[in-house]
DNA sequence: ATTTTATGTAATTTCAGTTGTTACATTATT
DNA sequence: AATAATGTAACAACTGAAATTACATAAAAT
């Protein structure tokens, strides 16, 4: 979903896009988009201006943004390896396994991110564009 | 959480363990454990018998079970790359991006699994055992 | 055989986290 | 000034996971 926003931004390269327009594009409401944009701003992936006629745009060219960065920008909100289960006393494995698993998952997540690094927003957009016959309609 | 169950099973190697005991160990209820065990049975990671004095045990030695297998056994239930967002028409990127992202995430997930393959249940257990000072109490 | 112990599974409820909505202050442009 | 946009908080609605309950079934123990 974060990727989707960035893809739209990349699509209209350079232009400032309002959160309302983005929201319509990914079929949600402006507030959700703005919340997401805050993460992306923190990660220095987008620049947002307030005021009339403003909006957001990529802060770098799509070729210089890879998906691992995007993943990291939002990983807290969309994390996956969060066991979020309360540790249980009185179990010899239960006590320490959490910490050990964290280390293992961290390594696995690194592997995942290294793979995501291979794809930039620009190549993603190319893939989407050339991915054959999707019912293409003009955007509003 | 699936890993946790298997770790306990590995801990009492060979013994049959009831779902009730496992549930207490990971601090949940027996039904959750049984549902999880069904996945693990399908993946041929555990063997379960009904009847009095029965329960589950690993179907292989912990050294021959790696974490990628565990991940795959439960990935449908605990999947992470599920954008679960309805596709939205009338957006040129929105239409095709789903499918493209799926391909990319599949690759990333492969990378993740290849990393998980490096760790077996046995090494995990070793790590837990030697991971220093955790308040160890005897299990019930 | 009957009782006991355990799994398999469905139906329902409970709970938490996410998402959506509304509202409004703030800021920049026109 | 007036307008158009973001930032942000408060709250409602929704969704999905987990817990609970219940019961049928199967295997073992007696």
Strands B46-49 and A55-58: unpaired
Hey, what CATH topology would domain B2-130 get? Arc Repressor Mutant, subunit A (1.10.10)
- DSSP for residue B71: H
3-state helix, strand, coil in chain B (%, to 5): 55, 10, 35
Gap between the Cα atoms of B79 and A14, Å rounded: 35
Distant-in-sequence, close-in-space partners of A115: CB < 8 Å, separation ≥ 6: B107, B108, B110, B111, B112
B103 touches strand D (CB under 7 A): no
Gap between the Cα atoms of A139 and A12, Å rounded: 11
The DSSP line for A101-117 is HHHHHHHHHHHHHHHHT
Pick from A30-34, A114-118, B4-8: least confident: B4-8
- Rounded mean pLDDT of B14-35? 93
Residues in chain B: 140
pLDDT grade for B26, boundaries at 50, 70 and 90: confident
Kindly state the percentage of chain A with pLDDT values over 90: 54
Cβ of B91 within 8 Å of Cβ of A25? The answer is yes
Kindly state the percentage of chain B with pLDDT values over 90: 54
Write down the mean pLDDT value for chain B. 85
Gap between the Cα atoms of B90 and B108, Å rounded: 29
Gap between the Cα atoms of A139 and A132, Å rounded: 18
**pLDDT the model gives residue A29:** 94
- Whether the per-residue pLDDT at A28 is higher than 80: the answer is yes
Residues 87-126 of B with CB under 8 A from A: 88-97, 99-101, 103-104, 107-112, 114-116, 119, 124-125
Cβ of A139 within 8 Å of Cβ of B89? The answer is no
Q: Which residue has the higher pLDDT, A11 or B89?
A: A11
pLDDT grade for A90, boundaries at 50, 70 and 90: low
The answer, for B84 touching chain A at a CB cutoff of 8 Å, is: no
- Radius of gyration for the alpha carbons in chain B, expressed in angstroms and rounded: 19
Q: Which residue has the higher pLDDT, B128 or A42?
A: A42
Question: Using one digit for the tens of pLDDT, what is the confidence trace for A53-64?
Answer: 999 999 999 999
**pLDDT the model gives residue A72:** 93
CA of A28 to C1' of D14 (A): 14
* A2-80+120-130 under CATH 1.20.950.20, yes or no: no
Write down the mean pLDDT value for chain A. 84
The answer, for B83 touching chain A at a CB cutoff of 8 Å, is: yes
**pLDDT the model gives residue A138:** 45
**pLDDT the model gives residue B132:** 63
pLDDT grade for B113, boundaries at 50, 70 and 90: very high
**pLDDT the model gives residue B140:** 45
Q: Which residue has the higher pLDDT, B78 or A65?
A: A65
Question: Using one digit for the tens of pLDDT, what is the confidence trace for B55-110?
Answer: 999 999 999 999 999 999 998 766 555 555 666 656 666 667 888 888 899 999 99
- Whether the per-residue pLDDT at A139 is higher than 50: the answer is no
């Amino acid at each position: 979903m974060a990727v989707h926003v960035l893809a739209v931004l990349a699509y209209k390269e350079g232009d400032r896009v309002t959160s309302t327009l983005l929201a319509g594009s990914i079929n949600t409401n402006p507030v959700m988009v703005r919340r997401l944009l805050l993460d992306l701003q923190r990660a220095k992936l987008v620049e947002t201006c307030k005021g009339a006629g403003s909006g957001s745009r990529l802060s770098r060219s799509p070729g210089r943004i890879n998906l691992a960065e995007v993943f990291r920008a939002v990983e807290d909100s969309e994390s996956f390896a969060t066991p979020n289960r309360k540790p249980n006393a009185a179990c010899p494995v239960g006590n320490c396994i959490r910490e050990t698993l964290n280390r293992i998952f961290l390594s696995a997540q690194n592997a995942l991110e290294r793979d995501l690094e291979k794809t930039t927003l620009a190549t993603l957009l190319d893939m989407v564009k050339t991915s054959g016959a999707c019912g293409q309609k003009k955007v509003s």
